[in-house]
Structure 1
């Protein structure tokens, strides 16, 4: 069976992590000794996920939000100790992919959201640290009504009701997508003349921006919009290396 390093080297190359300036390290964050038979994927690195991964017999955990972020305390805090202790006690490696996983044109969160919503002709959108991380798409014909787009978003994220600010045109023919906490990219969507913008976690200012600028704003949950990429990575590793993949969705209303 492959080592954690072999799997993460494969993902590092696939996602071109060296091309991104990110808020934390991408790739292998915590090593382990065992070869990998089971990969667990999840959105965020915390105790609930690690406990569930241990129950699944995980050898490698792959997440979108890792352990280490710019500006966090430099010492090992009590919560960090609990997280690391679970990884060490169960000999589980941890890898994280943040902006590279948002941005990937085939396997990223935004590309998969666009595909799931039926968007056509995807193009890069929303520059972060020098790289576009979002996707903008079109809807042919008469486009979609806001109710239909809302229904598609709700179904795609597993039934969660999105927050919707009705500020745009009657028919939606263009949509910008930035998963997670992407509220302020709505300004780029406005500048491009897009009819609607979808993100995960809203900020209060989004209401006024949407109504004043004439664009629909939808927020479907930070966590809910970022389950897609890590799940895809686990499936790719299962296909490429013959490992077992389990996606663990720890419920998160944010």
Structure 2
């Protein structure tokens, strides 16, 4: 079977040089290996994702010279797939509702830090400090029935007890980096959110379900997602999904060494195009000339 790759942007802004780099790497890997390249639109965030940004993604990627298989998978059209995965994890007793707001969580963290540093995940966010995991079932049911907003969290301790020796296969940076077997430590993320009351999925849950359903065998993505792979591998094992290989590439940063954002007009593909950039000059800018 030929390898399957994917590029999976969110239509919540215009693409920048970092997106171009990742898209081109996936396109080149598929071409070099005789594989397939899929495009996936990760549009579960209905408050930020907009049709005009999705249309711009297709336009920018075609202008770069990349091509992909159709139809394109749009996450918003497959919420039932994510709900089914969440139900499976719930049946294992690994999911619980947490009712604190973001402001309440911030206050809880602040109170705990009076006694010393509170643990944080690899992205720097504080681990969930609440106690909703210990709420009795009838109390949870009453809160849900009352209409209180909630997030569905993974009971990380219970989940990790089910999985031993968790690892992933890292193929290494595209420019000579070494690969190998990487130990996965999902517990570093604490009780991650899998869904919310108004949205039956999250990035962590939807990405592993999509990759499995689409048969993705090699995931080429940015180094900023390296540590999140531990959570994805845990969910893959719990859900009985196949294990892909991973290749985490370097990030394209701005002049001050910061990761690019979609609000950075100086590195946006549309702005660069309007200024006279060509696909060849974009490839040169990201080191693929």
Do these two structures clear the TM 0.5 threshold for a shared fold by scoring above it?
no
Which structure shows the bigger proportion of residues in helix conformation?
Answer: 2
Which structure shows the bigger proportion of residues in strand conformation?
Answer: 1
- Normalised to the residue count of structure 1, the TM-score between the two structures is 0.37
- Normalised to the residue count of structure 2, the TM-score between the two structures is 0.34
> Which one has a bigger Cα radius of gyration?
2
Structure with higher RCO (Cα < 8 A, 6+ apart): 2
